[in-house]
Amino acid sequence: MLENLSAQPADKILALMATFKADPRSDKVDLGVGVYKDATGNTPVMRAVKEAERRILNDQKSKAYVGLAGDPDFSAVMKDLVLGDSVAQERVAAVATPGGTGAIRQALELIRIAAPQATVWLSNPTWPNHPSIIKYLGMKTAEYRYFDSATRGVDFKGLLEDLEQVAEGDVVLLHGCCHNPTGANLTYDQMSQVISLMQKKRAVPMVDIAYQGFGDGLAEDAVATRQIASSFDNCLVAASCSKNFGIYRERTGILMAIAKDADQQALAQQNLAFLNRQNYSFPPDHGARVVTTILQDPELRADWEAELEETRNSMLALRQQLADELRRLSNSDRFDFLADHRGMFSRLGTSPEMVEKLRADHGIYMVGDSRMNIAGLNAKTVPVLAKAIIDAGI
């Protein structure tokens, strides 16, 4: 049987991680994998997470199964964190999932059941796992233009032109905030126009929000998601707790399906529980319990918010430092976009050859499409990167 297998495409980012590890240079800089790192290169366990884990260790009386949808308290705190009061709670069906990836997978499977003919529209570029899972599930997909390689901002004209082609019932996947891999985001007004167009086309929005709190703040980063959720009868929202709680390996996420009314919500809820049952039965609990413990306790929540704010500000400071340094070295404002981008990533907008040159000549590792993890920098490596960019002639 196993002789029938053929090799699967290697994950480029994971392959890059392995090359970085094998590089003997002591001054190498890893801007590859999407994990937050502090100034010392460590991915810390957040203070509130440690404290919540201590409490769970002390207080937990049982490890028996919880429920197919996960703990209802987790759903309640996450609905509140992501959606606020943009939609009535009784319209929202929700299931805990293994990470944001699990939520995306379950969302796509739900679409496949409910609208097998729908095309799922993805930004070009997007997080590579989006097209990969869609292809694996045998679903139809199309791309809309997103990144303007001249300005390194959003190609809004191209985006609108492409979304004009959306058919009734198609699904449009939008990043809630901190677009991965580009770092370029739609403004509030631009999102309003996208919403109007989608309403006209009778399309269904799907939001992937994996970096809430990494851009402009917890509430600010939820604005687009809430704007979208409140504008449609139906909307799918896949949220990840990996980054903003720093609990990557705990696999904590949630899929929310916003229904037209309470009857439709009950049907969606039942289908989401069914999908969990088919794929992995009960979702992981530990990370979800940590998140719930933090969000339900005012003191822990305040500490988590404070640490998240420090994390966010450290990335903004690195962005500004890099943009300033490049302004000085290039004697131009052509790298100012780095300070305008939001989240953990920025797409430098250069060729794979230049990316390879930065790796070979300077030990600077970024993804082949020139996505840089800003959190991989520190105050000392920013000038090194800036000089390498200029030396390479980018």
Task: Please count the other Cβ atoms lying within 10 Å of the Cβ belonging to residue 30.
Answer: 21
Rounded to an integer, what distance in angstroms lies between the CA atom of residue 352 and that of residue 369? 6
Q: Which of 51, 208, 285, 369 binds ligand PMP (CB under 6 A)?
A: 208
Of residues 81 through 110, those in contact with ligand PMP by CB under 6 A are 99-101
- Residue 110's identity, in one-letter code, is L
Query: b vs e for 95-126, b when ≥16 Cβ sit within 10 Å of the residue's Cβ?
Result: bbbbbbbbbbbbbbbbbbebbeebbbbbbbbb
CB closer to ligand PMP, 174 vs 386: 174
Of residues 248 through 267, those in contact with ligand PMP by CB under 6 A are 248, 253
Of residues 163 through 192, those in contact with ligand PMP by CB under 6 A are 180
CB closer to ligand PMP, 252 vs 269: 252
Task: Give the residue carrying structure tokens 């196993």.
Answer: 2
User: Smallest Cα–Cα separation from 374: which of 336, 348, 335?
Assistant: 348
Q: Is 245 in the site for ligand PMP (CB under 6 A)?
A: no
CB closer to ligand PMP, 70 vs 100: 100
Please give the size of the binding site for ligand PMP, defined by CB under 6 A. Answer: 12
Q: Which of 29, 30, 34, 376 binds ligand PMP (CB under 6 A)?
A: 34
**Residue nearest ligand PMP, CB atom distance:** 99
Task: Please count the other Cβ atoms lying within 10 Å of the Cβ belonging to residue 197.
Answer: 16
CB closer to ligand PMP, 34 vs 363: 34
Q: Where are the beta strands (DSSP E) in the chain?
A: 29-30, 92-97, 119-124, 140-145, 171-175, 204-209, 235-240, 253-258, 345-347, 364-365, 371-373
Rounded to an integer, what distance in angstroms lies between the CA atom of residue 288 and that of residue 148? 38
Q: Which one is catalytic: 96, 127, 229, 386?
A: 127
Q: Which one is catalytic: 30, 162, 208, 221?
A: 208
Task: Please count the other Cβ atoms lying within 10 Å of the Cβ belonging to residue 138.
Answer: 8
Q: Which of 86, 119, 240, 271 binds ligand PMP (CB under 6 A)?
A: 240
Q: CB of residue 208 vs ligand PMP: minimum separation in angstroms?
A: 5
CB closer to ligand PMP, 215 vs 253: 253
210 tagged catalytic = yes
DSSP state of 81: I
Q: In the complex, which residues of this chain contact ligand PMP (CB under 6 A)?
A: 34, 99-101, 127, 180, 208, 210, 240, 242, 248, 253
Q: Which residues are catalytic?
A: 127, 208, 210, 243
